[in-house]
Structure 1
């Protein structure tokens, strides 16, 4: 799969613009800063993740110069996000967004469902961080 952002968006998956109603109100799907403009080919068994609060997310876009070039190994993903936990006034459950039922991306989404889930960035950071810190304490 190829993911790209030009200008303020929309975000494109394999050349198809995505309708992303879950992007935080007031944010644009793509940002015009250096990290926010990209076109990447996602390697097999990797994910490209983007937060819903695009102008305040330290997601894959801003880790392209890191060791993994912003990609997350599929094996590092524990499961699909199902709840918004932060901030507390936004607590709610998450369904699979209609983004993955859009014409032209169904085949890509069904063939790479884990990548698609990572792409939407519906991965509650607070829960992930707690789990990670808990594992480090247990291992340490």
Structure 2
């Protein structure tokens, strides 16, 4: 029980990283994009990182909001949601895509994330990022 609490505390700490780091770890933004946004933010300090990323169409507002507000709470909840549910909440996949993945998954015995990556809808990094939190096996990036 104590190990589970330590893991939850660690996950919350990791999820309290700046949004740019989280989006980069999830494969949704590049290191160069993070640096460019931070540089722009220095002269436009009234804008938040996520606002700039949305303004530059690097990501959408729902995805930023998900990683800032919702994901940290969902990850420590039990029971866990499915990978598809997290990705839908983050607006990274829509219902039609999830249905398509589930149909193909039932025909191929591939995992949900494998199908999403094969279809080009998500990067493997993004799937790995979500799975690490769901499985409680998060290892911080170096």
Band of TM-score, shorter chain: under 0.3
Q: Given the two structures, how large is their TM-score scaled by the length of structure 2? A: 0.27
Q: Given the two structures, how large is their TM-score scaled by the length of structure 1? A: 0.27
Relative contact order, CA 8 A, sep 6+: which one is greater? 2
